[in-house]
Every structure is written in structure tokens, then in C-alpha cells.
Homo-oligomer: A and B are copies of this chain.
Amino acid sequence: MTRTGRRPGDSSVTKAEILDAARLTFAEMGYESATLRRIAATAGVDVALIAHYFGNKESLFVAAHDLPINPSDIAGVLDGVSEGEVGEMITRFSLAMLAADDSPAISLMRAASTNSSAAAMLREFIDRTLIDPIAEMLDVADGRERAALVASHLLGVLFARHIVGVRELATASIDELVDAIGPTIQRYLTEPAWSASAN
């Protein structure tokens, strides 16, 4: 029975535990349904400690989604891959890396649906993590439009598979999905221009 006052023993990993609990809880239930009390309970901590460290709920959310995937991850994945395999690689990366249970991507998708500042965060995340590096790699005039189409499909697969639970996608293995979707992504990237694409 922990009582009041500072805990004995080692240093403070507590802050990181709160962030982990926040990521997990936000990813499971979305922004408004994830209560500070529940996050605190998951972290084994009083709710006031969260306020002490992070001020308010929104700041906690931002802090929990700040670091964990750095935008150069995908650039690293793409580096040294032959041009014909890029679609497959991006697809595999998205299905594996972005879809872990406490992944900030899924968490952001959940939160973005009901919270406009989370939507802004997800928008920026998509830009930095997917569209920017892909467009830079492509280095063609309509690169950002192509990358946005890629992102939309990958988002849709994550959404259908992990949030909605569409059976045909939820039960498929990553390899099967990569086989099915990779070539489509590849075409969006390297197929000759399909029409006059505006903006």
C-alpha cells in the first residue's frame, strides 16, 4: 500500500511509465474515452502526478505522440532498395511498424476521428513520415500527389484491419497483404502519369 510522499529506492522512471500508459490507453480507446484516471491506474500512479508532470490532458497526448516514430525511419527502409521493390517495402513497413498495439499511428488515427487537434497531428505525421520522404525519393513533379495516394491506401488498410476489423483483412497475414497490396503501391509510385493531375 503506497502512501503519500516520494517513493523510496531508485530514480524516476515514472514519467516514462506514464507516457507508455498514455500511448497504450489512447491507442486503445481514443482521446476522449481515455480518461486520465485510467491512464494513471495503468501506470500505477495517482492522477495528480500526471497533472504535475504534463499539466493537462492535451499536453500529455502530445508528449505521448511526440518522439516515438522518427520520420527518417521510412527513409532508412527505402535506402538501398531497388526501385522495383519500393512499393513492397513501404507496404511491409506500414503493416508491421505502424500497426503495433501501442503504435502512435493507430492511436493518432483513433484520436483524429473525434479531435481536430489530433487530426492536425496526424496530418503532420503523415506528411513527415510518409509523404515527404516518398516524394523526395520519387523526385518527380507529381510526387506528393502520388505519395498521398499511397498514404491513403495504407491508412485505409490499417483502418479496416485494426480499427474496423474487416474480416478479410484482419485475418490475412502480413505477407499475404504485402503480396496483394504491394504491387498497387508500386504502381502509384512508378507508373507513368495517368492524367493531368492538378494542384
Contacts and interface: CB of A to CB of B under 8 A. Distances in A.
Interface of A: 29-33, 109-115, 119, 122-123, 126-127, 131, 144-145, 147-149, 151-157, 159-161, 163-169, 171-173, 176, 179-181, 183-184, 187-188, 194-195, 197-199
B173 A197 contact: no
A22 to B, nearest CB: 16
B145 A152 contact: no
A32 B114 CA distance: 8
Contacts of A31: 114
A164 B97 CA distance: 20
Contact of A149 (B148, B154, B181): B181
Nearest to A181: B149
A163 B112 contact: yes
A164 B154 CA distance: 14
A180 B145 contact: yes
Contacts of A148: 160, 166-169
